[in-house]
A and B are shown apart, each in its own frame.
Chain A
Amino acid sequence: MKLMIQYVRKHLGMFLIAVLFLTIETFADLLQPTFMSFIVDKGVKNQEIGTILRYGLIMLGITAMGAVGAVVRNIYASKTSQLIGKEIRLAIYEKVQTLSYENIDRLQPASIITRITNDVTQMQNFINGIMRIMLKAPVTCIGAVVLIIVQMPSLLPLMLVILVCAGLLIYGNMRLGYPRFDRMQKKLDGLNLVSREFLSAIRVVKAFRAEEQEQEKFRESSRQLADAGISSMRVMAVFGPLINLTVNAGIVVMLWLSGRELTGEIGRLMACVNYMTQVLFALGMVSNILNSAVRAVASSARVQEILDEVPAQQDAGEQKAEITGSREIQEQQESRLSGEIAFRQVSFAYAGTARPAVCEADFTVREGETVGIIGPTGSGKTTLVNLVPRFYDAAQGQVLVGGQDVPRIPMAQLRQQIAVVPQKALLFTGTIEENLRWGDKQATQEEIRRAADAACAEDFVAKLPEGYETMLGQGGVNLSGGQKQRLSIARALLKKPRILILDDCTSALDATTEARVLQGIRRESAGMTVLLVSQRIATVMKADHILCMEDGRVYGFGTHEELLAECETYQAIYRSQIGAEEAETEEPEASQVAAADHSRWEGGVLHG
């Protein structure tokens, strides 16, 4: 709610214009019965056709004024609400771009997306509604009551009684209705959860013959939702007709009172009855208002939650800018960092988990070296490399790039020097070329080709009818997983970073292509520091050094031979993937092949 007020205040001018013209429009409605009473009391009573026509013309004028009011109000209300919607959307979007991973993990991307789309639309509709009907209802109500009292001052006590009664009923309606609607919303979320689970687990449900069980769960959820629905509808059923009855009773009492003490002018009474029906319509809108208010307030709270989110990380660039001015930053950004990476007793745990994902990691990677990182699933490999470009910040210890503590390097400068190829290739709507140019906006065609070629993407891109101009759908849906991975590698290579992080990025490629891609990367990454994460021992075997992890701890750091000799974890992985047959199999052919191969990689093909 606070949020909506804040934005309405920002566009107060337009909002007030809309409200002003809404008032004009409402008054045009309200004035009609009064002039009608003049027609009856002055025209009909006095048998003056001229008077009737004169007041008729005035009424037409008022109608025209109302029409103008309606047009202007409509334009301003639409413009204001759409503008506010647009600005809130942008505010969330910009905010999200400044948040760190930690924030986004907690908020969850899917939830952020619905907030930008659905929730903002709810708020926008509500704000528009305020300028459309919600203000009209109370204005009509109050205006009608005032005019009734002007027409027949003796009705003042009656009107006060009606207003108090109606007010109490509306209050009761809100008081009882709001929590029930809220509960209904929660039950609906519950039902959604059950059906989503069922749909994504359909194979398991069928394989385990758990249909009965799932149906019971669903039925229970549906029943709860139905109960919540019945209870909130019944509140409306009690209060809605009661409000009607109050106003109608007012009409009866009004007729009775004026019959007893009629002061001559029947037209006034007619006007008052007309006003009462207008009050009736206005109060009828209350339930609509309640409904959309419940939703808008909930949406507003969800949006506010994002806007209130404090980025978990501070950018050194901004910090320094505050202290020393931006000139120094400029200079610093131009200087390139060296590609040396050092971890000093680094520990890290994800928010909300007790178990550290990385524990006391301590090692140094020299500039230009390739380091393979291997370890079981969940051993912390990805987490470890994510600390380098500051996707997350170390909880303890220091991560140094080029000898500098990463939080002290301006974010833009740090990330400028690092290219990451993630496990899951992420591409964006646009042409293939546009996607690759993320790495380097000024890249020549030649450079783009070269990067694509190194990633073995050149072949399949060339086969596409429009080559590099091929449009990719959202997330690159029209490509296979392997194709996406290769483009994602090409994009990183085009950036020509100091530090290249390859996070198990060849998983969708078959072994032959993978070997070619790795060769291409090796060719292009000369001079770069490369962190190569993999589950496959064959992939990391050829690196300068290998880092072996388990349970977030570094269990070994050295060459393949060193680790094979000393590191138990590494030996276990090696045995599970390659060495087993030497230990177990007596099959002569196989061990011969293995032996022959040993000599091949010992012979210096290790690193190109």
Chain B
Amino acid sequence: MDKNMATPPSQLGRARGVPAVKPKDMKGTLIRLWQLTRGHRKGLGWILLLSGLASGSAILSPYLIGRVVNGIDSGDPFMGLLMILAALYLGDWLIRFLQQFLMAGVGQRMILHIRTGLFAHMEKLPLSFFDTRQHGELMSRLTNDVDNISTTISDSLTQLLMYGFTITGIFCVMVWMSPMLTIIALFAVLLIFLLTRAVTKRTKVLFRQQQTILGQLNGQVEESISGISMVKAFGQEQEMIAKFVEENDAFCRVATKAQIASGYLMPMMNVINNLTYVLIAIASGVMALQGRLTVGEISSFLLYSRQFSRPFVEIANIYNNFQTAVAGAERIIEILDEACEPEDVPGAISAAEIRGAVSFRDVTFGYRPDKPILRHINLEIPAGTRVAVVGPTGSGKTTLINLLTRFYDVQEGAILLDGHDLREYRLGELRQAFGVVLQDTALFAASVRENIGYGRENVSQEEIETAARTAGADGFIRRLPQGYETLLHQGGVELSQGERQLLTIARAVLNRAPIMILDEATSSVDTVTEQHIRQAMLTITEGRTSFIIAHRLSTIRDSDLILLIRDGQIAEQGTHQQLMALNGEYAEMYLTQMGKM
């Protein structure tokens, strides 16, 4: 739970036409979204109005064209009508341009607002939130889900509005012109509805199968490529290829089926459209023959029949996307509803002047309340003590540190710093009171100098160099191509693990916190370098309280107090000599590590 591995973003390729993820509470989510975008909706009203207007051209132009055709046919004057038609088209152009142009700005600004809001909230969440979630998943919320909300929801909203108006408008005009032909047009809509239902019923199952097999295929690829060293070392290349071919073939089979099934939807709708066209052509021809319809009206009707069924096709599609986007919004709102780190209590104490006396009073804690990691811990640590914490993996060493820095809060008991409960301090200042070096070396894509000065403003080059020298990092930094200005890419992959660790130590040194914490900070550094760091730490921790968690017992022998934690309790405590004399677990561990058992 404390291993901060970034997972790669989900590799599942999304096929078109995949059934939508259904939101749990559409109405509630939409209301929340509405509140979320407050203050950033300027222009949205105009866009909606324009979308409504945009349907005007679709409703009126076929009618006008029909009148013009009639005019041409019968030799009546039609120039006036033609001018109106031209004006209508010009208006349509202006409306569409304005609508899309405004939408670009409004949509992107809404994304920006939601995205930065989501990020700002995420930052305030307690560590437990990040520890229990996959990073890849959180990333996809910050990117995909937010994008979907704005593009899909605003797009679908405007389109739905436009199509709604279009359908109603066209329907009215058609009924007014000929109820008989309208029935034929409605018949097409019914056919489309039935077709859609039949197709989606089949594709749903197929797409689900496809996702499952795709998951397996992606898993196989991921595993064999990230483990390629062993594949090669054991000469398993052919076996891996055979396995891949098998999965790849299976995927191709199902995917082809699914694609064919879903691929029928659009062309078949087209066929239905054509069928309606034919039926209207025949019926209107016959009706014209009987004198119940003019040629111009036939012309209008044929144009209407094309535009009438198209929105129905689109609406089904849009609704699907809309649902998926709302489900994405739901996931975002879920994060926004997560409780932030507790606010400071009223009248919280400043932690600027901390001496560093720590005491644990009957502290009990577990990441899951039913599974306590630490049980009834009692400790008194005077200011300036060098404390070392040892114990087997999973015994609760890191948890102790998590509680101390208030990454998590105790469930029972209390931790006191200089006699005050941790919860009485201002959280921001409290965290500043700790200089922390963690096992995972989190470096940023910035220069070495910026990485050392992380979290602080206006640090002079001298201060940085002094800190680096104290941490023993100065030497290798100077050997880098641009020294302190060398840019690190992606977490400093170009440095060795030990070098990365030295940088993080320099960072903590620069912080000059009254309490230093090193959580297995030297586990990936060789023993000689570790000795240097240890020397440096001795100077830094001079007169400060410090906590050191270490695997290698040789490095913590000179601590003032060694705590051996086992099963969430303090099993042994004392100086190295005392514990050796005790001849208990510590002594055994120590001798084994020295190769003497």
Inter-subunit contact A63/B274 (CB<8 Å): yes
Inter-subunit contact A576/B111 (CB<8 Å): no
A200 proximity list for chain B (CB < 8 A): 4-6, 135, 440, 442, 491
Q: How far is the CB of B237 from chain A (nearest CB, A)?
A: 4
Please name 8 pairs of A and B residues whose Cβ atoms are closer than 8 Å in the assembled complex, sorted by A.
A44-B295, A204-B504, A230-B104, A237-B104, A245-B93, A248-B89, A248-B92, A376-B525
Q: How far is the CB of B39 from chain A (nearest CB, A)?
A: 16
Q: How far is the CB of A142 from chain B (nearest CB, A)?
A: 18
Inter-subunit contact B236/A438 (CB<8 Å): yes
Inter-subunit contact B244/A93 (CB<8 Å): yes
Inter-subunit contact A113/B252 (CB<8 Å): no
Closest to A80 in B: B256
A101 proximity list for chain B (CB < 8 A): 229, 232
Inter-subunit contact A199/B218 (CB<8 Å): no
Number of interface residues of B (CB under 8 A): 159
Inter-subunit contact B108/A230 (CB<8 Å): yes
Contact with A along B55-98 (1 / 0, CB 8 A): 00000010001001101110000110010011001101100110
Contact with B along A1-44 (1 / 0, CB 8 A): 00000000000000000000000010011001101100110011
User: Considering the complex, which residues of chain A in the window 152-208 have a beta carbon less than 8 Å from any beta carbon of chain B?
Assistant: 188, 191-193, 195-208
User: Considering the complex, which residues of chain B in the window 525-543 have a beta carbon less than 8 Å from any beta carbon of chain A?
Assistant: 525-531
A196-B130 contact given A73-B267, A245-B93, A277-B306, CB 8 Å threshold: no
Q: How far is the CB of A531 from chain B (nearest CB, A)?
A: 13
Q: Which of B16, B85, B89, B234 is in CB contact (< 8 Å) with A245?
A: B89
A376-B455 contact given A39-B281, A82-B256, A594-B594, CB 8 Å threshold: no
Inter-subunit contact B454/A439 (CB<8 Å): no
Inter-subunit contact A39/B285 (CB<8 Å): yes
How far is it, in angstroms, between the C-alpha of A444 and the C-alpha of B222 when the chains are bound? 30
B78 proximity list for chain A (CB < 8 A): 255, 259
Closest to A248 in B: B89
Q: How far is the CB of A418 from chain B (nearest CB, A)?
A: 7
Q: How far is the CB of B526 from chain A (nearest CB, A)?
A: 3
Q: How far is the CB of B118 from chain A (nearest CB, A)?
A: 10
Inter-subunit contact A415/B101 (CB<8 Å): no
A70-B271 contact given A52-B285, A237-B101, CB 8 Å threshold: yes
Most interface-central of B107, B220, B256 (chain A CB within 10 A): B256
A376-B526 contact given A78-B263, A233-B107, A426-B227, CB 8 Å threshold: yes
Q: Which of A256, A376, A541 is in CB contact (< 8 Å) with B595?
A: A541
Q: How far is the CB of B14 from chain A (nearest CB, A)?
A: 8
B275 proximity list for chain A (CB < 8 A): 60, 63
- Decide if B405 is an interface residue (CB 8 Å cutoff): yes
Closest to A569 in B: B528
Q: Which of B286, B438, B524 is in CB contact (< 8 Å) with A203?
A: B438
How far is it, in angstroms, between the C-alpha of A53 and the C-alpha of B445 when the chains are bound? 74
Closest to B231 in A: A97
Q: Which 5 A-B pairs have the closest CB atoms?
A: A538-B595, A376-B526, A208-B455, A70-B267, A201-B442
Q: How far is the CB of A276 from chain B (nearest CB, A)?
A: 10
Q: How far is the CB of A475 from chain B (nearest CB, A)?
A: 6
Inter-subunit contact A536/B111 (CB<8 Å): no
Inter-subunit contact B264/A233 (CB<8 Å): no
Q: Which of A49, A128, A206, A377 is in CB contact (< 8 Å) with B289?
A: A49
Inter-subunit contact A199/B230 (CB<8 Å): no
Q: How far is the CB of A519 from chain B (nearest CB, A)?
A: 13
Q: How far is the CB of A79 from chain B (nearest CB, A)?
A: 6
How far is it, in angstroms, between the C-alpha of A353 and the C-alpha of B264 when the chains are bound? 55
How far is it, in angstroms, between the C-alpha of A250 and the C-alpha of B89 when the chains are bound? 11
- Decide if B45 is an interface residue (CB 8 Å cutoff): no
How far is it, in angstroms, between the C-alpha of A495 and the C-alpha of B233 when the chains are bound? 11
Q: How far is the CB of B389 from chain A (nearest CB, A)?
A: 17
Closest to A203 in B: B438
Inter-subunit contact A90/B245 (CB<8 Å): yes
A40-B235 contact given A277-B306, A429-B219, A573-B527, CB 8 Å threshold: no
How far is it, in angstroms, between the C-alpha of A370 and the C-alpha of B79 when the chains are bound? 102
Number of interface residues of A (CB under 8 A): 168
Inter-subunit contact A40/B285 (CB<8 Å): yes
- Decide if A590 is an interface residue (CB 8 Å cutoff): yes
A564 proximity list for chain B (CB < 8 A): none
* CB within 8 Å: A-B pair count: 460
B28 proximity list for chain A (CB < 8 A): none
Inter-subunit contact B554/A379 (CB<8 Å): no
A539 proximity list for chain B (CB < 8 A): 595
Inter-subunit contact B69/A78 (CB<8 Å): no
Inter-subunit contact B263/A40 (CB<8 Å): no
A81 proximity list for chain B (CB < 8 A): 259
B14 proximity list for chain A (CB < 8 A): 121
- Decide if B498 is an interface residue (CB 8 Å cutoff): yes
How far is it, in angstroms, between the C-alpha of A536 and the C-alpha of B299 when the chains are bound? 90
Q: How far is the CB of A598 from chain B (nearest CB, A)?
A: 9
| Supplied contacts A226-B112, A515-B597, A535-B526, 13 more A-B pairs, CB within 8 Å | A36-B277, A97-B231, A101-B232, A104-B225, A117-B12, A198-B119, A208-B436, A210-B455, A215-B120, A241-B97, A252-B85, A273-B69, A577-B554
Closest to B104 in A: A233
Most interface-central of A55, A79, A269 (chain B CB within 10 A): A269
Inter-subunit contact B142/A195 (CB<8 Å): yes
Closest to A501 in B: B233
Inter-subunit contact A215/B143 (CB<8 Å): no
Q: How far is the CB of A59 from chain B (nearest CB, A)?
A: 4
Inter-subunit contact A218/B595 (CB<8 Å): no
A201 proximity list for chain B (CB < 8 A): 4, 442-444
Closest to B133 in A: A199
Q: How far is the CB of A338 from chain B (nearest CB, A)?
A: 20
- Decide if A512 is an interface residue (CB 8 Å cutoff): yes
Inter-subunit contact A237/B577 (CB<8 Å): no
Most interface-central of A240, A259, A491 (chain B CB within 10 A): A259
Inter-subunit contact A259/B72 (CB<8 Å): yes
Q: How far is the CB of A482 from chain B (nearest CB, A)?
A: 9
Inter-subunit contact A199/B223 (CB<8 Å): no
Q: How far is the CB of A535 from chain B (nearest CB, A)?
A: 6
Closest to A64 in B: B271
- Decide if A490 is an interface residue (CB 8 Å cutoff): no
How far is it, in angstroms, between the C-alpha of A86 and the C-alpha of B252 when the chains are bound? 6
Contact with B along A273-306 (1 / 0, CB 8 A): 1100100000000000000000000000000000
Q: Which of A32, A56, A234, A535 is in CB contact (< 8 Å) with B101?
A: A234
A25 proximity list for chain B (CB < 8 A): 267, 270
Contact with A along B253-284 (1 / 0, CB 8 A): 00110011001101110110011011001100
- Decide if B428 is an interface residue (CB 8 Å cutoff): yes
A53 proximity list for chain B (CB < 8 A): 282
- Decide if A114 is an interface residue (CB 8 Å cutoff): yes
Most interface-central of B13, B61, B496, B498 (chain A CB within 10 A): B13
B596 proximity list for chain A (CB < 8 A): 538, 593-594, 597, 600
A241-B100 contact given A94-B241, A376-B528, A576-B530, CB 8 Å threshold: yes
User: Considering the complex, which residues of chain A in the window 514-541 have a beta carbon less than 8 Å from any beta carbon of chain B?
Assistant: 515, 535-539, 541
- Decide if A147 is an interface residue (CB 8 Å cutoff): no
Q: How far is the CB of B239 from chain A (nearest CB, A)?
A: 8
Inter-subunit contact B139/A195 (CB<8 Å): yes
Inter-subunit contact A474/B594 (CB<8 Å): no
A416 proximity list for chain B (CB < 8 A): 235
B218 proximity list for chain A (CB < 8 A): 113, 117
Q: How far is the CB of A488 from chain B (nearest CB, A)?
A: 8
Closest to A114 in B: B11
A121-B13 contact given A25-B267, A236-B100, A573-B528, CB 8 Å threshold: yes
